[in-house]
Chains A and B, each alone.
Chain A
Amino acid sequence: MRRASALGFAVLVVAAPWLIAAAVPRQQRYVLHVLIFTALFAALALSYDLVVGHVGSLSLAHPAFFGIGAYTAAILATAAGWPFAAGLLAAVLVAAVVAALVGVPLFRLAEHAFAVGTLGLALVASIVANNWVEVTRGPLCITGIPKPALGSLAVTTLPAYYWLALSALAAVVLLYRGLTTFRLGRAFHAVRDNEPLAGAAGIDPLKYRLLAFTVGAGLAGGIGALYAHYLSVMCPEEMTIGLTVNLLVIVFLGGVGSLRGVLVGAVLFTALPEVLRLAPTWRLVIYGLLLLLVVVRSPEGIESLLRRAIGARAAR
């Protein structure tokens, strides 16, 4: 029964372009655009949750890795003429390598210091993107990033891009589940929940933290590359700490360390405001208040509230 409904859901998601075209033909492109953003943000939030939710390190440096990936792909595609797949791979690798390099010293820091240290890193990265004009073109942005193409298959239409974003999300979901469920996942959680105990059990906390940090950064870099190719421009404004705030809202509003929670959070934060069309400043006020309420009252996020509500009804 559950498998059947999951399959149904998957079919629904994949067929979305046709369904939307049938339901709201005039708005198809806008809706697809929102869905593409939602899928990319969901994937980015999942990569972030690997670090925050599963090894319990509140890193604020995620926009830096997103930006590094986006710029790597953008520069390679425009200045060096690399094909999309190679640029994507390079984006993942560069972001992961940078994360591994800075991760070693950063993880020596305790809680608050780690958060502030990663924040400093994010700020430095965005200042460099703004000022290293020779490479990033600074605030003039990199323009004319070509549409992605895989071999002879060019992704030019919105539905095609939607499927590409969806496949990326699926890949991230699979990796996320793989990393967080089996033995590795148990080790991650041991590190998060009780570091000394994990150490005593022969689990090296630093190793696992660094692993989650590096993988999360690599994924963020890859998503940055997809984002840059989709927009065809990349500017420093895309990697400010505002992005961290969005990610924190998605992850904590949805549910830390929970796949479904983060996905719910991404939909709530990316798609819903577009549908409701709130005034932008009020939207932020409402999100801030919601976030405050959720972390204070129900730290597991909205997803667990929903689950509890459904569970209560089922028990009745």
Chain B
Amino acid sequence: MYAMVAAGLALMLGVARLINFAHGEFFMLGAYAFWFAYRELGVPYPLAAVLAPAVMVAFGIAYQHGVIRAILPRSWHVQLIATLATSIVLTNLAIIALGTQPKEVPTVLSARILDVGGVRVAWQRLLVLGASVVIFWALHRFVARTRTGRAMRALSQNREACAVVGVDVQRVAMVTFALSAALAAAAAALVSPLFNIFPDMGTALTLKAFAAVVVGGFGYVNGAIAASFLIGLTEALAGSYVSYAYKDAIAFLVMLAVLLWRPQGLFGRRLGI
């Protein structure tokens, strides 16, 4: 789950060189979109899981038009504050519109359990794992093969040169945002049957995803994905064997240690996806 959210964040950072503090709120909104389709409208699960990302693509485009377009050429201070402000607005609007009562969206798969030699896993978790692999593969193909994907890569390496050759920076940024919003929503649709949906859910996630992006190397998508698994694993191990209360602290300390040891991240070269 971290991996998918972090991948979106890394994509944005890599391509647009922009830290999007509102990314966790994309995840939250995606989860609510999924809840609305699945629970309130009664759309079957697979369809709802596709619908949520579709809605979020539209939202990502709107966000790019409304906010990002204006701040893209500006200093990174401005970008950071603007996205942080967006995150505050979205969280509190969600509280006003949807209330603070957590929403539950269990599916058939989340209650059914696979038992292999004493190791028990809910089917939904396996679905998450399988779907992630497929989505990452598709993402990789998209970035590597398509014209837009190549433009994204080019942009991440040298923005000025791209502008000179005639790549439309804003358009590529828009695609990037739509894509990362869709990734967040897909992650939300996959994992929310296991957890709860509530307005604050994005905030903590943004921070974890940041840690992954930093550890993985700034804006380096594959690095971020690998780092996400690393952080998830660190947390799980620290939680089971050291101290559950301190597991988040340990995850962030690992992040700090990596930062200080290799400021460019574990897998990072420089910016570039």
Residue positions of A touching B, CB distance < 8 A: 56, 58, 105-106, 108-113, 115-117, 119-121, 123-124, 127-128, 130-131, 245, 248, 252, 256, 281-282, 284-285, 287-289, 291-292, 295-296, 299
A282 interface neighbour in B70, B96, B210, B259, Cβ under 8 Å: B96
CA A53 to CA B238, docked complex, whole Å: 38
Q: Measured between C-beta atoms, what is the minimum distance from A287 to chain B in Å?
A: 7
> Which residue among A284, A285, A291, A295 has the maximum number of chain B CB atoms within 10 Å of its CB?
A295
Q: Scoring B residues 225 to 255 as 1 if CB is less than 8 Å from chain A, else 0, what string do you get?
A: 0000000000000000001011011001101
CA A105 to CA B9, docked complex, whole Å: 25
B151 at the A interface (CB under 8 A)? no
Q: Scoring B residues 77 to 107 as 1 if CB is less than 8 Å from chain A, else 0, what string do you get?
A: 1101110111111011101100000000000
Chain B residues with CB below 8 A from A289, complex form:
85, 89
Chain B residues with CB below 8 A from A252, complex form:
81
CA A252 to CA B71, docked complex, whole Å: 15
CA A307 to CA B248, docked complex, whole Å: 45
B96 A281 Cβ-Cβ under 8 A: yes
Chain A residues with CB below 8 A from B71, complex form:
295-296
For chain B, which range describes its interface: under 10, 10 to 19, 20 to 34, or 35 or more residues? Answer: 35 or more
Name the prevailing secondary structure of the B interface residues: helix
Q: Measured between C-beta atoms, what is the minimum distance from B73 to chain A in Å?
A: 11
CA A295 to CA B243, docked complex, whole Å: 41
A292 B67 Cβ-Cβ under 8 A: yes
Q: Measured between C-beta atoms, what is the minimum distance from B94 to chain A in Å?
A: 10
> Which residue among B13, B19, B91, B259 has the maximum number of chain A CB atoms within 10 Å of its CB?
B259
CA A119 to CA B252, docked complex, whole Å: 9
Q: Measured between C-beta atoms, what is the minimum distance from A137 to chain B in Å?
A: 14
A292 B19 Cβ-Cβ under 8 A: no
A127 B80 Cβ-Cβ under 8 A: no
A110 interface neighbour in B84, B85, B87, B263, Cβ under 8 Å: B263
Name the prevailing secondary structure of the A interface residues: helix
Q: Measured between C-beta atoms, what is the minimum distance from A55 to chain B in Å?
A: 12
B211 at the A interface (CB under 8 A)? yes
B19 A299 Cβ-Cβ under 8 A: no
CA A115 to CA B19, docked complex, whole Å: 10
Residue positions of B touching A, CB distance < 8 A: 13, 19, 67, 70-71, 74-78, 80-82, 84-89, 91-93, 95-96, 207, 210-211, 213-214, 218, 243, 245-246, 248-249, 252-253, 255-256, 259-260, 263
B82 interface neighbour in A108, A119, A295, Cβ under 8 Å: A295
> Which residue among B70, B74, B92, B253 has the maximum number of chain A CB atoms within 10 Å of its CB?
B92
A121 B256 Cβ-Cβ under 8 A: yes
Knowing A295-B82, A299-B78 are in contact, say whether A123-B248 is a contact too (CB < 8 A).
yes
CA A34 to CA B19, docked complex, whole Å: 35
Chain A residues with CB below 8 A from B77, complex form:
56, 58, 256
For B82, the closest partner residue in chain A by CB is A295
Chain A residues with CB below 8 A from B87, complex form:
288
Chain B residues with CB below 8 A from A248, complex form:
81, 84
A245 B78 Cβ-Cβ under 8 A: no
CA A292 to CA B210, docked complex, whole Å: 21
Knowing A131-B246, A245-B84 are in contact, say whether A119-B259 is a contact too (CB < 8 A).
no
Chain B residues with CB below 8 A from A117, complex form:
214, 256, 259-260
Chain A residues with CB below 8 A from B88, complex form:
245, 284-285, 287-288, 291
Q: Measured between C-beta atoms, what is the minimum distance from B72 to chain A in Å?
A: 11
Q: Measured between C-beta atoms, what is the minimum distance from B12 to chain A in Å?
A: 12
